[in-house]
Amino acid sequence: MKKETLLEIILGTVGGLIFALGMCMCLIPEWDLFNAGVVVATLGFIILLCIIPVYKSNQPSKPHKPVNFGLVMAWVIGIIGALVMGFGMSKTMVDGAGSGDMLMGIIFGIIGLIVCVLDYPVYSYLKKDKDN
């Protein structure tokens, strides 16, 4: 393993942990550490940004290929499906959610899951259509 790769792993792990701790400090009201959490999360984000120059110095630049429309659509559909499913999960897990919230959350969760499952067939269809 190259030392640059090890440095990327260490920066990613430490930066991710510090960023996550800062976000917890901001979002857990019982801790009452919002301002300190913003500072800690910013520090973690800066550490994560330090990975970019290390990665760029380690990786050779490659010529750009044309944009793969099927892959872009797969990403967009996957992100939309994950967001819809996450919305549904959050509606069911809210403390004191009524039966209407629970039912709406389950329905949105199932819809998001179906969108995520249908992502690969859509990608395969777009890729097959491009190959022909």
Quote the domain boundaries for residue 74. 69-131
Shared-domain flag, residues 82 and 45: no
Shared-domain flag, residues 7 and 39: yes
pLDDT at 41: 96
Shared-domain flag, residues 73 and 46: no
Shared-domain flag, residues 73 and 127: yes
pLDDT at 122: 87
pLDDT at 45: 97
In a domain, 29, yes or no: yes
Shared-domain flag, residues 73 and 48: no
Total number of domains constituting the chain: 2
In a domain, 89, yes or no: yes
In a domain, 64, yes or no: no
In a domain, 63, yes or no: no
Phi-psi region of 60 (alpha: psi -120 to 50; beta: other; left: phi over 0): beta
In a domain, 74, yes or no: yes
CA-CA distance, 24 to 33, in Å (whole number)?
9
Which value, to the nearest 10 degrees, does the dihedral of the CA atoms of residues 52, 54, 57, 58 take?
-110
Low-confidence ranges of the chain (pLDDT < 70): 1, 97, 129-132
Shared-domain flag, residues 23 and 46: yes
Q: What is the tens place of the pLDDT at every residue in 23-48?
A: 999 988 898 999 999 999 999 999 99
List all residues 6 or more positions away from 82 whose beta carbon is below 8 Å from its beta carbon. 112, 116
pLDDT at 57: 83
Shared-domain flag, residues 34 and 53: yes
Shared-domain flag, residues 93 and 43: no
pLDDT at 129: 65
